[in-house]
Amino acid sequence: MSASAGLTSLAYQLPDNRISLQTLEREGVLTSDAAFLRDIGFENCYRYDGTAFDEVRLESARSALSGAAIDGTAVRWLFRYSGLDDDTTAGGFAAGVPVATGSAVPRPESNAETEVLERFRYPVARMQEQLGLTAAAAVSLGQQGCGGLLSALHMARRLATDGEAVLCVAGDALPVHSGREVIYNVMTDAAASVVIEVGARRNRIVHFHQQSMPYYWDTPLHTQELLASYFPLAQRVIEKTLDGAGLVADDIRWVVPHNVNLRSWRILSELIGIPEARVWTDNIARVGHTVSCDHIINLCDMESQGALEKGDRLLLFTFGFGANWSCMILEH
């Protein structure tokens, strides 16, 4: 592990289809009134209407690699994260993964054995092949909800070595006709990618802390308890992360949020003693809440808008079903 590992390149990809709250309400995919959701900060979501969302993930990965200006062979690890369990369909992981083309050998006739073999057509391996990461070990991560990408970054930090990078690719798309609201948050589809390298000159990972609460694993059953636990554990995890980094709330220039509703951020900012003005909430209205990409989307946009200066300490916080509460501090 290197203490100086950081996020050298970040990129994200949103689907083309941007949908207003009114439209979502008309479609009957919201639980709350659109007016209420607007009141707590939301305006839109992005919805992926296609059938091959991995192409969106790939696009973000190519952008991140391009931004890092590294050769694909420098990537030692590829992490592909999905917060939605995509092994629940009859086809296993392979469902929706396009078949390979260009092979010199013909595809065998379908039989009992090939039906089993179909299940071993891994999306992460296809992604590795598509990106040309010939030196990488490709691993799929999942099932940490909105906390998964921060966990992946933390693992990448521990695995990164001099001259070898880690690429984390995350993204999720809800089924087209599914509900678009989860506990007062409007959900958006997105993909995001990050290159982690040792000796990064920006976005150095200072500290990470995560608390998991496995009792809450059955999310629908424990929704009310999760709601009640959200703030106590958020406060505790943020305080532990600050302590672990040897920092106090005043040292933090920006809180980079997961894009949950504004009202919950107002409460949490009061609890952690960081003024609401230092929580970067611009994207709650513009983008909505993604399963795993909020922090990367926000960091990219903060940078492009000139909100970040070298040396700024950034506090990234998220909660994921499962359940886990995670916090990471970066030094820009």
Partner 1 sequence: MARTILITGASGMFGREVVPALLAGGECELILLVHESGCGVPAAQLARDMFGLSPEDARHVTFVQGDVREPGLGLNEADHGRVTTTVTHILHSAAITRFDRPLGDVRATNVDGTRHMVALARECPCFEAFGHVSSAYMAGRRTGVVLEDDLVHDAGFVNTYEQSKYEAELYLRDVGDLPLAVYRLSTVVGNSRTGAVLNFTAPHHAMRMMHLGLASMVPGSADYPVDMIPGDVVAEAVAELLLHRFRSGDVFHLAAGPERSYTLEQVIESVFDTFGHLDPEWQRRRYPRPVLASSDAFTMFLDAIEAADNPFFVSVLRTVRHFADQLNYPKVFDMTRLLDRMPEYADRMPNIDDYYPKVIRYCVETDWGRHVA
**161, 137 Cβ separation under 8 angstroms:** no
Please, what is the minimum distance in Å from the beta carbon of residue 267 to partner 1? 5
Q: According to the binding rule CB under 8 A, does residue 199 interact with partner 1?
A: no
Please, what is the minimum distance in Å from the beta carbon of residue 158 to partner 1? 26
**Judged by CB under 8 A, how many residues of this single chain contact partner 1?**
24
Q: According to the binding rule CB under 8 A, does residue 32 interact with partner 1?
A: yes
**6, 204 Cβ separation under 8 angstroms:** yes
Q: According to the binding rule CB under 8 A, does residue 110 interact with partner 1?
A: no
Please, what is the minimum distance in Å from the beta carbon of residue 310 to partner 1? 33
Considering only 90-98, 115-123, 166-174, 224-232, which stretch makes contact with partner 1 by CB under 8 A? 224-232
Walk across the sheet containing 190-197 and list its strands. Answer: 137-142, 75-82, 165-172, 190-197, 6-13, 204-212, 324-331, 313-320, 254-256
**β-bridge mates for residue 10, sequence order:** 194
* Contact pick of 28, 228, 243, 251 for partner 1 (by CB under 8 A): 228
* Contact pick of 4, 18, 36, 91 for partner 1 (by CB under 8 A): 36
Considering only 133-141, 195-203, 267-275, 294-302, which stretch makes contact with partner 1 by CB under 8 A? 267-275
d(CA 15, CA 265): 26
| Residue among 42 and 79 whose Cβ is closer to partner 1 | 42
| Residue among 241 and 264 whose Cβ is closer to partner 1 | 264
Q: According to the binding rule CB under 8 A, does residue 232 interact with partner 1?
A: yes
* Contact pick of 271, 285, 303, 312 for partner 1 (by CB under 8 A): 271
> What does the DSSP assignment read for 169-183?
EEEE---TTS--BSS
**Rg, the chain, Cα only:** 20
Would you tell me how many other CB atoms lie within 10 Å of the CB of residue 201?
Answer: 10
Of residues 171-190, which lie at the interface with partner 1 (CB under 8 A)? 184
**214, 325 Cβ separation under 8 angstroms:** no
3-state secondary structure of 118: helix
- The residues, any chain, with a CB within 8 Å of residue 290's CB and separated by 6 or more, are 146, 172, 187, 188, 189, 190, 192, 259, 297
Per-residue CA distances from 116 to 90, 94, 110, 112 (Å):
12, 11, 10, 7
Please, what is the minimum distance in Å from the beta carbon of residue 8 to partner 1? 36
| Residue among 259 and 292 whose Cβ is closer to partner 1 | 259
Please, what is the minimum distance in Å from the beta carbon of residue 268 to partner 1? 9
Given the structure tokens 């001099």, which residue do they identify? 162
Please, what is the minimum distance in Å from the beta carbon of residue 218 to partner 1? 12
* Contact pick of 233, 299, 302, 329 for partner 1 (by CB under 8 A): 233
CA nearest 269: which of 256, 285, 283? 256
Q: According to the binding rule CB under 8 A, does residue 264 interact with partner 1?
A: yes
d(CA 193, CA 96): 21
d(CA 203, CA 206): 9
Q: According to the binding rule CB under 8 A, does residue 266 interact with partner 1?
A: yes
DSSP letter for 322, please.
Answer: T
Q: According to the binding rule CB under 8 A, does residue 219 interact with partner 1?
A: no
Q: According to the binding rule CB under 8 A, does residue 111 interact with partner 1?
A: no
Q: According to the binding rule CB under 8 A, does residue 277 interact with partner 1?
A: no
Q: According to the binding rule CB under 8 A, does residue 267 interact with partner 1?
A: yes
Residues of this chain that bind partner 1 (CB under 8 A): 32, 36, 39-40, 184, 213, 215, 224-225, 227-233, 235-236, 263-264, 266-267, 270-271
